Amino acid sequence: MTAQNPSKPRRARAVNKTIRRALLTTFLTTLSFGGLSNACTLMGANGTATKDGNVYLASTSDNPYIEGPRNQVYLTIPKQGYKFVHTPLHIQDPPGHYFDVGSDRGMNEKGFSWTRAWVVPNEPQAANKMNAVDWFLKLGSTVSTVDEAIKFVQDNPKGIGDQGNYIFADADGNMAAVEVGYQTVNVVEKWTKGEKGVVARANLWTSDKMKPIDISNTADEHDHQYAVSTGYRVPRAMELLNGGTGKIDVEMLKQFLADNSNRDKKPLGDTGFSISNHGATGGTVAAEVYDPAHRTFWFTYGWPDGDAKSSNPSFDGANKNTWGAWIPFILSEMTEEGYYTDWNGNVTPLGARYLAKLNAKKML
C-alpha cells in the first residue's frame, strides 16, 4: 500500500483515494472468481471450555505464497473511536507493489476481536456496498461487543471482501459464529461467558439458511479446492477443541494452529489439508491467537508449526522467512500508529521499538 504524500493538494489526494478504491474492487473480484482465494481455519473457545473462563480465538491465514495476500501487523489510532491492532492484507501485483485489500483479523482496545474466513455467496452485492478496507477500519474503531458486531454486519451494506465466516469475541467472554453474505446474515450460534463454547469454521457455510447461497464449492477450481480442504480442517479443529475442553488457553491454541494432521495427504491443487497448511503453491502465511481479556493479539509469520520446508521451495515466496515463534501485540503497550511487521515478515523499526519496550519491562 502506497502512503499518501501529505504535500499533495486535497483534491489530488481525494482522486487518488477514489482510484485506489476502484482498483480494490477489481482486485477483490479477482479474489472471488479469478483464482486467488483465502483458505483459513478459525477456532474459538469460551466459558467452561477454557482454562480460566475467558474467551480465546485462533486463526490461520492461508493464501498463495508468492502473490499473497500476506498479513502485516498494523496499529490504527483513529481520530474518533477505538485504537486497534489489525493485519492489513496486501496483494503483491506487480512484484514490488503492494495493494491493501482489508484487515480481516484484529482486536481493539475494548477487547473486541474478529477473524474471518472466505466464503463465496450467490447473491448480489449491496448497491451502496462498503469496500473491504473501509469495512474493517469501521468495524475495528466502532465496535466493542459481540452484540454490536452482529448489528454491524447486519446493518452495513456489504460487497466483495466483506463476506464470509466470522467469529467474534469480546472482553466480557462472549463469542459468536456468524455467516455473512452480501444481503443475508445468519448468527449460527452465540455463547456467553457462563456457557461452554467451542467452534471451528473455514470456507463453507453450514446453516440451513446460508447453505443454499454458498457457491464456494463451484465458484472456480481454487474455491473448490478450499471447500474440499474445509472437510478435513474443520473436523480436525473440532477434535482438538473438544479434546482440550476445560484446559484451552493461548498456549494450547498455538499448538492447535501448528497441527499437521493430514499434512501427508496429497495437496489438492493450491492447498493442503492440515491446519498448518503446507499446500504446494499456497497455504498458511501467518497465524493469530486472540486474548481479549488481556487485550493481547498474538502473531506469527509463515507456517505456525515453524517448519519452513515444503515440497516445492520455488513456490514458497516469503514463507521461507517463517518465524517459528510468536510475538504478543499488547494494545496497552502499543502507542505508535503504523506497521510493526512487513510483507516479508521483518519487524519494522517501529516494531523494534515496541519490542525493546516490552523487553525492558520484562514482558517478553
At 26 the pLDDT is: 47
Q: What is the mean pLDDT of residues 170-192?
A: 98
Can you tell me the distance from the alpha carbon of 351 to that of 332, in angstroms, rounded to the nearest whole number? Answer: 15
Start-to-end C-alpha separation, the chain: 30
Sequential DSSP letters for 194-230: TSEEEEEE-SS--STTTGGGB-TTTS-HHHHHHHHHH
Question: Residue 189: pLDDT band by 50, 70, 90 thresholds?
Answer: very high
- The CATH code belonging to domain 10-360 is 3.60.60.10
Domain boundaries, given as residue ranges, for the chain: 10-360
Structure confidence at residue 39 as a pLDDT band (50, 70, 90) = confident
Calpha distance 231→169 (Å, rounded): 24
pLDDT at 97: 87
Per-residue pLDDT tens for 248-302? 999 999 999 999 999 999 888 878 999 999 998 999 999 999 999 999 999 999 9
Q: Chain-centre distance of CA 309, in angstroms?
A: 23
**How far apart, in whole angstroms, are the C-alpha atoms of residue 160 and residue 151?**
19
* pLDDT more than 70, % of the chain: 89
Q: What phi and psi, each to the nearest 5 degrees, are found at residue 347? A: -80, 130
Unique residue bearing C-alpha cell 469475541: 169
Residue 176 CA, chain-centre distance (Å), reads 16
User: Is pLDDT larger for residue 61 or for residue 12?
Assistant: 61
Burial class (CB in 10 A: 0-12, 13-18, 19+), 114: buried
| C-alpha distances in Å from residue 194, one per residue of 57, 249, 288, 293 | 17, 16, 25, 15
Q: pTM for the full model?
A: 0.91
For residue range 294-328, list pLDDT tens digits in order: 999 999 999 999 999 776 788 899 999 999 999 99
